Amino acid sequence: MTETAASAATVDPNEVLARYRRRREEVVTAPQGNLALVNTQWITGDPEAPAQPVWGVPGLWAPLPAGQSGLKLTATAADGITVDGAPVDGEVVVRGKDDPNPSAIVFSDTVTGFVIASEQGEYALRVWDANSEAIQEFGGIDAFPFNPEWIIQARFTPIEGGKTVGFEHLKDDGATREKVIPGEITFTKDGVDYSLAAFQAGRALQLVFADTTNGDSTYSVGRFLFVVPNPDGTITLDFNLAVLPPCAFSYNFNCPLPPAQNRFAVPIEAGEKNVLNKQGGLLH
């Protein structure tokens, strides 16, 4: 046996998973990690109307004319705001995340922000606090032990041109947003055939799923799994890497809900379960 093969043979999946989970906790407690989000405020209406305040930060904010990316900020030097490294004293355009060069906002040593865009062309200010109450109270992410039963070898079949599936979001009052599904993920487990819908998320596919543990031992809304198809059309669904959605960490996120085909009628006892406070109870 070669040294490489011997090393591969001795890899402990529990150690690999432990490293992954430590990294997850570092990510969610970062200055713009999930626990740092303290406000998402949509700025809509007539661009000529008076600008409006945003909870928790200085300055006044207004929408731009249709077709322009971002928001207009009005502030004085005394407000201490910088946009793209320059102090604001007057009016400035804060470019949104849909712009090739989005703006970065700094309010203080711990508070930062940026502007996000909706699919309808509206914009919101997101405010992040690296010393948020949630970060201070965070105790950890509860998770299931490593479970090899929920490492699934599936098949990814591309759909020419993709197809659209309507995804509800937690705060959208039943309205759906169309997401392009580039292909079908299919497998059979315990005699049940599954065909799952995952939408594109950067270079990966994002699977939003639910199972019978939700609201019992896991977060009620569901969980996410990010996967990448192999060149030969196979795809590995390792539910040990399932993560809680951002809305499990901050109420200021609006998470997609699992579509009907992604709702398992069995418990998936693998992956993350809940966000805990320092006393071991639920953070939210």
pLDDT tens digits, residue range 40-71?
Answer: 999 999 999 999 999 999 999 999 999 999 99
Q: Are 150 and 120 part of one and the same domain?
A: no
Q: Which of 88, 103, 129 is the last residue of a domain?
A: 129
User: Does residue 79 surpass a pLDDT of 90?
Assistant: yes
In a domain, 16, yes or no: no
What percentage of the chain carries pLDDT values higher than 90? Answer: 85
Residue 284, in any domain of the structure: no
**Do 123 and 214 share a domain, yes or no?**
no
Q: Are strands 105-106 and 151-168 parallel, antiparallel or unpaired?
A: unpaired
**pLDDT score recorded for residue 9:** 57
Whether 154 and 57 map to the same domain: the answer is no
pLDDT of 175 > 70? The answer is yes
| pLDDT score of 178 more than 50 | yes
Number of domains comprising the chain: 2
d(CA 263, CA 65) in angstroms, rounded, equals 41
- Is residue 55 situated within a structural domain? yes
Residues 164 and 114 in one domain: no
Amino acid occupying residue 128 = W
Structure tokens at 26: 């570092």
Label residue 119 by pLDDT band (50, 70, 90).
confident
The domain in which residue 182 lies consists of 140-277
213 within domain boundaries = yes
Instruction: From 200, 210, 278, select the one nearest 239 (Cα to Cα).
Output: 210
Query: Where among 129, 150, 182 does a domain terminate?
Result: 129
- Indicate whether 182 belongs to any domain: yes
- Pick from 141-145, 169-173, 229-233: least confident: 169-173
Beta strands in the chain (DSSP E): 37-43, 52-54, 57-63, 71-75, 82-83, 86-87, 90-94, 105-106, 111-117, 123-129, 138-143, 151-168, 176-189, 192-201, 204-209, 223-227, 234-238, 272-277
Give pTM, 2 decimals: 0.91
- Residue after which a domain boundary falls, among 129, 161, 196: 129
Over residues 128-139, the pLDDT tens digits come to 999 999 999 999
At residue 1, the pLDDT reads: 43
Same domain, 67 and 196: no
> Do 123 and 198 lie in a common domain?
no
Please check whether residues 109 and 157 belong to one and the same domain: no
Co-location of 153 and 269 in the same domain: yes
Q: Are residues 192 and 273 in the same domain?
A: yes
Q: 192 and 260: one domain?
A: yes
For residue 11, being part of any structural domain is answered with no
Are residues 238 and 150 part of one domain?
Answer: yes
What gap in Å lies between CA 242 and CA 271, rounded to an integer? Answer: 5
Mean pLDDT of the chain: 93
| Percent over 70 (pLDDT), the chain | 97
First to last CA, the chain: 51
Residue 18 lies in a domain: no
DSSP 94-163: E-BTTSSS---EE-SSSEEEEEEE-TTS-EEEEEEETT-HHHHHEEEEEEPPP-GGGEEEEEEEEEEEEE
Q: Does 282 map to a domain? A: no
146 in the same domain as 119: no
